[in-house]
Amino acid sequence: MSATEQDFDYAAADFNAVYTGGELLEGAAIKVVPWDIGEAQPDVVELEQLGRFHGAVLDIGCGPGDNAVFLARRGYRVTAIDAASAAVEQARRRAGDLEIEFAVADATDLTGYEGRFDSVLDSALFHTLPGPARPRYAAALHRVTRPGAQLSVLCFADVPGGMPAPLSVPGEELRGTLTEAGWDITSMELSEYAGVAVGMEKFFERTGRQPQLDAKGRTRLPIWKVFADRVSR
């Protein structure tokens, strides 16, 4: 890791600020919502086609709500949660009249949601959490799910061309954290996460990254795509 990368305090990211025109990360020159591509993540669309969602679905770290909207339109009963109140407000607006339950909550706690969900989508939340919070988060997901629940995770991967640490997670850490919390990993492979390119140029320059762009001009960043089943404990 270069000295430039170490200068950023990723744990101090202000998610509310970036949704209201402020800066996400001090010194990183990010004033756009990097994950707001205006539609569901391509991998989320694929996950739905693969049958990864059933029953009551939790979209944890829902951001601006496009994944939740996509799933609700496909007929799922969706609860969408984010720690940033500004993100939840934006997601509510995008959802319009769709029946989605939105809430502002701490993903490492989730008190009051015990035993409610049959499927969980984590689209780029795990890697935003500080290291010590990740086991608490995985355990919270176990508490709020029912026997037989399925978890699908999209998480920045610690591989060449990926995001800087600690935003990129070693596969061993991700696997170990989920397994310890009661999740049986049935599949773990590399994929790509679509992100916003315009407005991210200085951040990528300062971290020495040169992400590839897709046909729509979006960044393509390597992620772990993880499928896991809940194990009774």
For residue 33, tell me if it sits in a domain.
Answer: no
Strands (E), the chain: 56-60, 77-82, 100-104, 117-123, 145-156, 183-195, 212-213, 219-230
Rg (CA), the chain: 17
For residue 144, tell me if it sits in a domain.
Answer: yes
- Our count of domains for the chain comes to 1
Domain that holds residue 147: 38-193+219-230
Q: Write down the pLDDT at residue 8.
A: 81
Q: 3-state class of 222 per DSSP?
A: strand
Q: Is the pTM of this model over 0.85?
A: yes
Q: Write down the pLDDT at residue 148.
A: 96
CATH number, domain with residue 45:
3.40.50.150
For residue 206, tell me if it sits in a domain.
Answer: no
For residue 32, tell me if it sits in a domain.
Answer: no
Q: Write down the pLDDT at residue 11.
A: 83
Q: Write down the pLDDT at residue 111.
A: 97
Chunked into runs of 10 residues, the chain (233 residues) has average pLDDT values of 57 92 89 96 98 98 98 98 98 98 98 98 97 97 98 97 93 98 98 96 91 94 98 86
Residues 178, 141: Cα–Cα separation, whole Å: 10
